[in-house]
Amino acid sequence: MPLEILLALVIGGIGVVTLLLHVTGRSERADLSDDTAGLAWLRQFPEDDIHQVLISQDGHAALLRTSQGMGLVWAFGADTVARPLADCTLKNTATGLRVSFHEFAAPTTRLILTETERANWRLLMKPA
């Protein structure tokens, strides 16, 4: 089979799969609530006890106080990612915060926060 035809088939196949995922609603970001954020945390850290959950105004991030310290859950497409805030760097952005974890598996994330949320979350994340 000529390379041009193979390339067209591969690109077309990827495009069709992407379109199907988008049309069926599987490309939307996860919306977090206290319960879903807690479950997302416990899925990755089942030994922790969750004491407090603070959801961002846009519903795509949550700050958690656990028995092991502060943690962050955020939407990654239709799924979630959870990381402890033990070793992270915070940087203000125009729309919120940029959190760098110094970890290969989840090096950085950008949180969309209001001005008030940004100030509050920075204070809560600072001891981490």
Q: What is the pLDDT of residues 87-127, one digit of tens each?
A: 889 999 999 999 998 888 888 999 999 999 999 999 998 75
Are the C-beta atoms of 104 and 117 separated by less than 8 Å?
A: no
CA distance 37 to 58: 14
Q: pLDDT tens, 19-56?
A: 998 888 777 888 899 999 999 999 999 999 999 999 99
69 and 114 part of one domain: yes
**What is the token pair recorded at 110?**
């950008």
Residue 115, classified by CB atoms within 10 Å of its CB into exposed (0-12), middle (13-18) or buried (19+), is exposed
- The residue with tokens 């125009």 is 94
22 and 1 part of one domain: yes
90 and 70 part of one domain: yes
51 and 109 part of one domain: yes
What range defines the domain where residue 84 resides?
A: 34-125
Count of structural domains, the chain: 2
The Cβ of residue 126 has, within 10 Å, a number of other Cβ atoms equal to: 10
22 and 53 part of one domain: no
2 and 22 part of one domain: yes
CA distance 83 to 107: 10
